[in-house]
Amino acid sequence: MRHTFTLTSALFSALASVLASALCAALFALALGGCGGGGGSGGSGGSAASNASTPSTAGPTVTNTTPTPQALAANAVRVTVDAGVSNVPNMPFVSLTLCAPGTAQCQTIDHVLVDTGSWGVRVFASQLPASMALPQQKDASGNLVAECMQFFNGFTWGAVKLADLQIAGEKAASLPVQVIDPNYASVPSDCASVGVARNTPAMLQANGILGIGVFKHDCGANCVAQALPGTYYGCSGTACTSIALAEALQVANPIPYFAADNNGSLLSLPAVAGGAQSVTGQLVFGIGTQSNNTLGSAQVIGVSPSSGTFTTVHDGTTYSRSILDSGSTGLFFRSSALPVCASPNNAYYCPASTEQLSAMIQGVNGSTSAVNFGVANANAVAQTYAGDSALPLLAGPAFVTPSIFDWGLPFFYGRNVYAAIEQQPTPGGSGPYVAY
């Protein structure tokens, strides 16, 4: 499950690049979220991370790079971090195509957020032509299915419909997707009470979401056992009532429904020294299925089969609900050692100079990996890198609880990051796991 929040400041909004922590992914089982990430190098290690942090005396170096075109295989799609829909930094985008099932009535949608911290495809009804009629999902009782997808301070609302999805050379037939539409039926009160409606691209800050995390469906067994308020609904006319829903009918991660390359994904982005106007990488489908998605020496980090989380130890603090989340725009975790920016920028950290920090990631499989990352003064970043979309040194404490360390997109810069889907065999063992 994903959560979202937008952080604004007078300084940031005055710049060409709006620094906002826009879309962060967390898990349904956590019932909360945070946005996060951390740039740096990683490697194996057997002990907890050092509690000491070393301030950097040198300021950040301005680095604006021109993306190098990549030759893409049939199982890969280009990923771009750019200004996107709303000039929000650290958002990776792809284009995908949806078609009415079994037809050539199709629509390609660009600037869809790549999100390894959620599961399922979400697009806007306003982006689909009226001539492309997608059939609506029905439950076992014949109810038309709709969904309220809860974000941290808001929600998306719309019908669950069936579409053939095409991305790169991969296809998933009759995939359940959420078609976000504020005009569908009437938004139930227990959905509307969640917070702000994110039912337009401007409010969501993307033209859709491609959720490709470690689970197959966006609610899973939680929604099979009982009707959960603010989740799935059966609708008749304008009235919608909470329902339980079989996993096969829920909004789905498309990858396990591909004919091949269906056990996970690899997100590869170039390293960014301090900031870049845009960067280009690739999203490769499958793990160990082709020559371009081998695990190699990647460290396999087992995650909880129920929540998708692992443990991070940093500065003597254990964060037991940690995630690797490309849908988050920075590194988000609580730390008493880092000064918080003055209001209204208090979602971010503002150390006097860039801090070089370390942490230890621990998987449920016993695997450990040391990670180094930097945290810069967010106000200085806004001034130095005005107009840049790739900012690897953003971090803050916003909205996360003490148990969460959300490694967002800055962690992905300069790495190949894998997400293995539950119950799917891979050379690194069956999912769920993450690796890098």
Domain ranges of the chain: 2-65+295-435, 76-257
Query: Residue 71 has what pLDDT?
Result: 79
Cα-based distances in Å from 222 to 5, 193, 232, 245, 306: 24, 21, 11, 9, 10
The fold of the 76-257 domain, in CATH, is Cathepsin D, subunit A; domain 1 (2.40.70)
Name the burial class of residue 61, with classes exposed (0-12), middle (13-18) and buried (19+) by CB atoms within 10 angstroms of its CB.
exposed
pTM: 0.86
State how far the Cα of 203 lies from the Cα of 389, in Å rounded to an integer: 18
Distances (CA, A) of 234 to 10, 174, 404, 412: 43, 19, 33, 38
pLDDT of residue 152: 65
The pLDDT value recorded for residue 5 is 32
Q: How far is CA 373 from CA 109, 145, 208, 245, 296, in A?
A: 34, 43, 29, 41, 23
pLDDT value at position 11? 32
Burial code of 354-369, b = ≥16 C-beta within 10 A, e = fewer?
bbebbbbbbbeeebbb
**Residue 321 burial by CB count (10 A; 0-12/13-18/19+): exposed, middle or buried?**
buried
pLDDT at 154: 85
Beta bridge partners, 150, equal 155
pLDDT for residue 36: 30
- Can you tell me the distance from the alpha carbon of 92 to that of 178, in angstroms, rounded to the nearest whole number? 20
The pLDDT of residue 151 is 76
Contact 36, 24 (CB under 8 A): yes
Q: What b/e sequence results for 93-114 when a residue is b if at least 16 CB atoms lie within 10 Å of its CB, and e otherwise? A: bbbbebbbeeeebebebebbbb
SS3 80: strand
Cα–Cα distance between 64 and 404 in angstroms, integer? Answer: 32
Return the pLDDT at 70.
57
In this prediction, the residues of the chain whose per-residue pLDDT falls under 70 are 1-70, 152
In 10 A of CB 31, how many CB atoms?
10
Q: What is the CA radius of gyration of the chain?
A: 20
Residue-level pLDDT at 69: 52
pLDDT of residue 123: 98
Strand stretches in 16-86, DSSP E: 23-25, 42-44, 54-55, 76-81
Closest CA to 158 of 121, 212, 109, 205: 121
List Cβ neighbours of 250 (8 Å cut-off, separation of 6 or more): 120, 160, 176, 217, 218, 219, 220, 223, 232
Terminal C-alpha separation, the chain: 22
Determine the distance from the C-alpha atom of residue 308 to the mean position of all C-alpha atoms in its chain, rounded to a whole number: 13
Cβ–Cβ < 8 Å for 124, 99: no
Length of the chain: 436
Q: Nearest CA to 433 among 370, 362, 363, 371?
A: 363
